[in-house]
A and B are shown apart, each in its own frame.
Chain A
Amino acid sequence: MKKKKNYNLILGCILTGLVVVFVLVGLVYTPYDPEAMDSSLRLAGVSLAHPMGCDNFGRDILSRVIKGSGTTLFVALGTVAIGTVAGTLIGALTGYFGGIADEILMRIIDALFAFPSILLALVFVSLFGSGKYNVMLALGIAFIPSFARIVRSEFIRCKNMDYVKLARLAGAGHLRVMFVHILPNTLSVLVSAVMIGFNNAVLAEAGMSYLGIGVQPPDASLGRMLSEAQTYLFSAPGCALFPGIVIIIMVLGFSLLGEGLKKTA
Chain B
Amino acid sequence: MMLEVNHLSIEFHDHQLPETVVNDFSLKMNEGDIVGLVGESGSGKSMTALAIAGLLSRRDMEKKGEILMDGVNLLTCPREALRKLQGDKIGVIFQEPMTSLNPVYRIGWQVEESLRIHRPQMSKEERKQRALEVLAAVELSDVERVYRAYPHQLSGGMRQRVMIAAAMVCRPKLLIADEPTTALDVTIQAQIVKLLQKINREEKTAILFISHDLSLVRKLCHRVVVMQKGDIVEDADIEAVFNHPREEYTKKLIAAIPKCEKKKTAGT
Contacts and interface: CB of A to CB of B under 8 A. Distances in A.
Contacts, number: 60
B99 interface: yes
A99 B59 contact: yes
Contacts of A169: 53-55, 86-87, 90-92
A161 B99 contact: yes
A147 B222 CA distance: 53
B96 interface: yes
User: Do most interface residues of chain A lie in helix, strand or loop, or is the interface mixed?
Assistant: helix
Interface residues of B, number: 29
B92 A166 contact: yes
Contact of A171 (B88, B100, B101, B105): B88
Interface stretch (B113-121, B198-206, B260-268): B113-121
A218 interface: no
Interface residues of A, number: 18
Given A170-B113, A171-B83, A184 B104 contact: yes
Contacts of B92: 166, 169
Interface in B102-142: 102-105, 110, 113-114, 117-118
A99 B14 CA distance: 12
A162 B99 contact: yes
B94 interface: yes
A4 B103 CA distance: 23
Given A99-B59, A165-B94, A166-B92, A172 B103 contact: no
Contact of B96 (A162, A172, A176): A162
A167 B86 CA distance: 10
A185 B150 CA distance: 14
A189 B143 CA distance: 33
18 contacts: A162-B96, A162-B100, A163-B99, A163-B103, A169-B53, A169-B54, A169-B87, A170-B113, A170-B117, A171-B87, A171-B88, A172-B87, A172-B113, A173-B83, A184-B104, A185-B102, A185-B104, A187-B104
Q: Which 3 A-B pairs have the closest CB atoms?
A: A171-B87, A170-B87, A171-B86
Given A166-B92, A168-B55, A184-B102, 14 more contacts: A99-B59, A163-B99, A163-B101, A166-B166, A169-B91, A170-B114, A171-B85, A171-B86, A171-B88, A171-B114, A172-B117, A181-B102, A184-B105, A185-B103
Interface of B: 53-55, 59, 83-88, 90-92, 94, 96, 99-105, 110, 113-114, 117-118, 163, 166
